[in-house]
């Protein structure tokens, strides 16, 4: 965990309101799938938490959606250098067997490195991706390199119509989920499988000193930034 100013290598739009930001990564920083960074936006007071979408030896990629003022400013300014605190939080424990990835909206971002590493691990992947509408689809092509991708859109404009919840998941498959809270709760309670879910909460610090991100899970109070963002699936079951 380190505070660094990283050069911007590219910063482009992927889909409606969705941007990809690629930074130069120092070699000694070794992120893991599911971890995140606190990203400085000039003009805003607090840093913004963003999942690490993917990385190579020398690059680190974020994918973000314009939601409020901070992400809007980030997308409009074209900084050449960005201050980040990273890598932060827990990661997805990777299986070598069968994996079912279920992600919605910007929750799809961290699936990039997760799918890549799972595949490298020898896992077989079913990947379910949910979007609001066709023009918001991103990462689907890339993810199809690693497994069988099914797309869902709320309005049916692309793939299956409806929420991104597969009707069946193989009993021995490990579930990996990331998306809005209702989606995580649905995943937790709909499938009996083992798995890992990544959640979010408003954050001030991102590294455990403010207690701003604390949520109540089954086993008690947890800091999303430090104990999470990835938690065992049973923590969300009720």
Ligand X SMILES: Cc1cc2nc3c(=O)[nH]c(=O)nc-3n(C[C@H](O)[C@H](O)[C@H](O)COP(=O)(O)OP(=O)(O)OC[C@H]3O[C@@H](n4cnc5c(N)ncnc54)[C@H](O)[C@@H]3O)c2cc1C
Ligand Y SMILES: Cc1cc2nc3c(=O)[nH]c(=O)nc-3n(C[C@H](O)[C@H](O)[C@H](O)COP(=O)(O)O)c2cc1C
Let me know: does 55 contact 61? Beta carbons within 8 Å: yes
**Would you say 147 or 206 has its CB closer to another protein?**
206
Question: Quick check: 65 binds ligand X (CB under 6 A)?
Answer: yes
Let me know: does 195 contact 213? Beta carbons within 8 Å: no
Let me know: does 125 contact 119? Beta carbons within 8 Å: yes
Supply φ then ψ for residue 182, to 5 degrees: -60, -35
Residues that bind another protein (CB under 8 A): 1, 3, 40, 44-47, 70, 85, 201-216, 221, 226
Binding mask 159-198 for ligand X (x = CB under 6 A): ----------------------------------------
Question: Quick check: 210 binds ligand Y (CB under 6 A)?
Answer: yes
SS3 150: strand
What's the Rg (C-alpha) of the chain?
A: 17
Question: Quick check: 69 binds ligand X (CB under 6 A)?
Answer: yes
Q: How far apart are CA 163 and CA 199, in angstroms?
A: 18
Q: How many residues bind ligand Y (CB under 6 A)?
A: 2
SS3 224: coil
Q: Which of 31, 49, 130, 166 binds ligand X (CB under 6 A)?
A: 49
Residues that bind ligand FES (CB under 6 A): 203-206, 208-213, 223, 225-226
In whole angstroms, the minimum distance from the beta carbon of 40 to another protein comes to 8
CB count within 10 Å of CB 41 equals 20
In whole angstroms, the minimum distance from the beta carbon of 153 to another protein comes to 23
SS3 223: strand
Binding mask 51-90 for ligand Y (x = CB under 6 A): ----------------------------------------
Q: How far apart are CA 230 and CA 26, in angstroms?
A: 24
**Would you say 51 or 226 has its CB closer to ligand FES?**
226
- Pair type for strands 59-65 and 18-24: antiparallel
Residues lying near ligand X in the complex (CB under 6 A):
36, 46, 48-51, 62-65, 67-71, 106, 109, 200-203, 229
Residues lying near ligand Y in the complex (CB under 6 A):
210, 212
């Amino acid at each position: 965990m380190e505070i660094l100013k990283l050069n911007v290598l590219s910063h482009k739009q992927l889909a409606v309101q969705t941007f990809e930001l690629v930074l130069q990564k120092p070699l000694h920083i070794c992120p893991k799938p599911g971890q995140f960074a606190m990203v400085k936006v000039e003009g805003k007071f607090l840093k913004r938490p963003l999942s690490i979408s993917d990385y190579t030896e020398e690059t680190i990629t974020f994918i973000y959606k314009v939601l409020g003022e901070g992400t809007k400013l980030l997308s409009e300014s074209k900084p050449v250098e960005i201050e980040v605190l990273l890598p932060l939080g827990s990661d997805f424990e990777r299986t070598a067997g069968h994996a079912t990835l279920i992600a919605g909206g910007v929750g799809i971002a961290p699936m990039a490195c997760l799918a890549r590493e799972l595949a490298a691990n020898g896992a077989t992947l079913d990947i379910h991706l949910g979007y609001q509408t066709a023009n918001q689809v991103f990462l689907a092509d890339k993810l199809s390199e690693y497994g069988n991708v099914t797309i869902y859109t709320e309005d049916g404009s692309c793939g299956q119509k409806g929420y991104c919840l597969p009707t069946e998941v193989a009993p021995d498959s490990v579930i990996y989920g990331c998306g809005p809270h209702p989606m995580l709760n649905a995943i937790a309670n709909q499938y009996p499988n083992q798995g890992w879910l990544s959640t979010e909460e408003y954050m001030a610090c991102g590294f455990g000193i403010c207690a701003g991100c604390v949520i109540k899970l089954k086993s008690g109070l947890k800091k999303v930034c430090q104990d999470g963002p990835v938690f065992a699936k049973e923590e969300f079951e009720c």
